[in-house]
């Protein structure tokens, strides 16, 4: 065990540190986090609409559904202003955080990023009129601003802001009198770099459209985003990212933060598609999404550490361990595991390496195949990560009671994996204490 931990420290830890400090990855992670209000608001809109439909169709509460119809209409409006424009919000947020990390004007960075997205998607849409498909030019299809535009927003937002930052660093600015108000001075300072960045992205898209006859955003969706999202549905890919998150977490590096660009780009995209499908009354297309990890494996935080807390309270005889567990219980219920991970600690503790890695892998594998067999609904609603276990999966799976059963089974499995190591930690600590006492006596 010590050799394995040493090998991970020598080879994996340096890589984890480099990934955690890469400014583009940090900016992308912060961008997804910043638009969480949009994600949650849109999911609540879908959740409210689904609740009313369940009450009407499954419980026969037609009067209740009729009374709540205005709320359904309001939820539809909220969805159009949140999830329907997800890529647009992501582009603005990414531009802001990327520009901020490069130390240029973040507001202009957000504007350049949004402009870069708009230039990279099709400015036409197609409608079916009397059985004929009619193309309408100079009109955006709103779906391009939703989940289908996420990779376009990331790629061209990054290109646009990078060019803007490069021009700013080269001092290609229009600096006027310092007596101007601050806002006007910042706008003039950013004018030339922003123009160069926007025209550069426009040139890239023009050349691509001229050569290929298609829009870059459409090409990117077909050749990159769709295959990656589909690849993310593979069992091996799901297990690999779970393993990487746990390994990073064992070394005290927030694996969710480091791998957020990948988790959100692939599995959050799939989740947003599921949410949209539920809202439009279609079957959800994706089996495993971003919220699936939280619902079925990471209860109490990465590692399923809520079950570590429960195991300590049930089986540990050491007063110091039990005190830490009592303090960490309340945060753990709301999926905050820093008190137990850093306080026990779990980080860099060889005793807990195996259960910290294995428990989530077993939970994810079991939940994946249960979902694949159709025994529980896939996650189709985004719920806040602080929602306690059992309640969170029930809501995330769109009021599927079977999700509660699956969550309870997973918690029992995780408890069974954690418990032998908790008992072993007690014995090791007791032996260490006895040895220290013996040395002091002699």
- Whether residue 397 has pLDDT greater than 50: yes
> What is residue 146's predicted lDDT score, i.e. its pLDDT?
79
Find the distance separating the first CA and the last CA of the chain, reported in whole Å. 32
> What is residue 10's predicted lDDT score, i.e. its pLDDT?
63
pLDDT digits (tens, 9 = 90+) for 328-382: 898 888 888 878 887 888 887 888 888 999 999 999 999 999 999 999 999 988 8
Tokens 């209000």 locate to: 37
Rank 68-77, 100-109, 358-367 by mean pLDDT and report only the highest. 358-367
Q: Which of the four pLDDT bands, split at 50, 70 and 90, describes residue 442? A: very low
> What is residue 80's predicted lDDT score, i.e. its pLDDT?
85
Instruction: Show me where the domains of the chain are located.
Output: 82-228, 236-441
> What is residue 437's predicted lDDT score, i.e. its pLDDT?
39
Tokens 């599921």 locate to: 274
* CA atoms of 323 and 300, how far apart (whole Å): 17
Tell me what the mean pLDDT of segment 136-158 comes to. Answer: 81
Tell me what the mean pLDDT of segment 286-303 comes to. Answer: 89
Please enumerate in sequence order all residues whose Cβ is within 8 A of that of 328, keeping only pairs 6 or more positions apart, or say none. Answer: 309, 337, 339, 340, 343
Q: Which of the four pLDDT bands, split at 50, 70 and 90, describes residue 439? A: very low
- Whether residue 292 has pLDDT greater than 50: yes
Beta bridge partners of 136: 125
> What is residue 372's predicted lDDT score, i.e. its pLDDT?
92
**Per-chain mean pLDDT for the chain:** 83
Tell me what the mean pLDDT of segment 18-33 comes to. Answer: 76
Tell me what the mean pLDDT of segment 103-121 comes to. Answer: 90
**What are the percentages of helix, strand and coil residues in the chain, rounded to 5?**
75, 5, 20
State residue 137 phi and psi, 5-degree precision.
-85, 165
- Whether residue 84 has pLDDT greater than 60: yes
- Whether residue 1 has pLDDT greater than 60: no
- Whether residue 423 has pLDDT greater than 80: yes
Q: Which of the four pLDDT bands, split at 50, 70 and 90, describes residue 438? A: very low
Q: What is the DSSP letter of 134?
A: E
pTM above 0.95, yes or no: no
Q: Please state, in angstroms and as integers, the Cα–Cα distance from residue 243 to each residue in 28, 193, 303, 380, following that order.
A: 22, 42, 10, 24
> What is residue 339's predicted lDDT score, i.e. its pLDDT?
82
- Residue in 338, 289, 340 with CA at minimum distance from that of residue 316: 340
Tell me what the mean pLDDT of segment 426-439 comes to. Answer: 58
């Amino acid at each position: 065990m010590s050799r394995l931990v040493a090998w991970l420290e020598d080879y994996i830890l340096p890589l984890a540190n480099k990934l955690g400090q890469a400014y583009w990855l940090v900016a992308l992670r912060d961008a997804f986090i910043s638009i969480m209000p949009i994600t949650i608001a849109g999911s609540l809109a879908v959740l409210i609409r689904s609740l009313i439909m369940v009450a009407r169709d499954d419980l026969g509460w037609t009067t209740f559904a009729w009374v709540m119809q205005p709320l359904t209409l309001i939820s539809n409006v909220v969805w159009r202003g949140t999830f329907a424009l997800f890529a647009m919000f992501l582009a603005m947020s990414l531009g802001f955080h990327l520009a901020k990390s490069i130390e240029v004007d973040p507001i202009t960075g957000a504007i350049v990023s949004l402009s870069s997205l708009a230039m990279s998607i099709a400015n036409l849409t197609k409608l079916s009129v009397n059985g004929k498909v009619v193309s309408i030019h100079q009109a955006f299809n709103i779906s391009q601003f939703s989940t289908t535009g996420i990779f376009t927003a990331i790629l061209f937002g990054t290109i646009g802001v990078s060019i803007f930052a490069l021009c700013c660093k080269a001092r290609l600015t229009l600096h006027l009198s310092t007596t101007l108000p601050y806002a006007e001075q910042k706008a003039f300072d950013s004018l030339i770099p922003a123009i160069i960045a926007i025209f550069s992205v426009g040139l890239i898209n023009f050349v691509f459209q001229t050569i290929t006859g298609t829009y870059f955003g459409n090409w990117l969706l077909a050749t990159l985003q769709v295959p990656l999202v589909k690849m993310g549905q593979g069992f091996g890919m799901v297990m690999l990212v779970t393993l990487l998150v746990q390994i990073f977490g064992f070394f005290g590096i927030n694996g969710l933060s480091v791998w957020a660009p990948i988790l959100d780009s692939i599995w959050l995209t799939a989740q947003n598609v599921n949410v949209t499908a539920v809202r439009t009354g279609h079957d959800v297309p994706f089996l495993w999404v971003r919220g699936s990890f939280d619902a079925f494996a990471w209860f109490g935080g990465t590692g399923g550490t809520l079950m570590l807390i429960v195991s300590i309270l049930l089986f540990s005889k050491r007063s110091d361990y039990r005190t830490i567990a009592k303090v960490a219980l309340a945060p753990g219920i709301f999926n905050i595991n820093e008190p137990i991970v850093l306080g026990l600690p779990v980080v860099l503790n060889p005793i807990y390496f195996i259960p910290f890695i294995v428990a989530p892998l077993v939970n994810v594998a079991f939940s994946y195949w249960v979902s694949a067999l159709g025994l529980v609904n896939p996650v189709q609603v985004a719920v806040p990560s602080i929602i306690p276990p059992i309640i969170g999966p029930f809501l995330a799976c769109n009021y599927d009671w079977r999700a509660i059963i699956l969550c309870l089974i997973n918690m029992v499995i995780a408890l069974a994996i954690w418990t032998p190591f908790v008992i072993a930690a007690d014995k090791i600590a007791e032996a260490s204490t006895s040895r220290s006492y013996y040395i002091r006596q002699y």
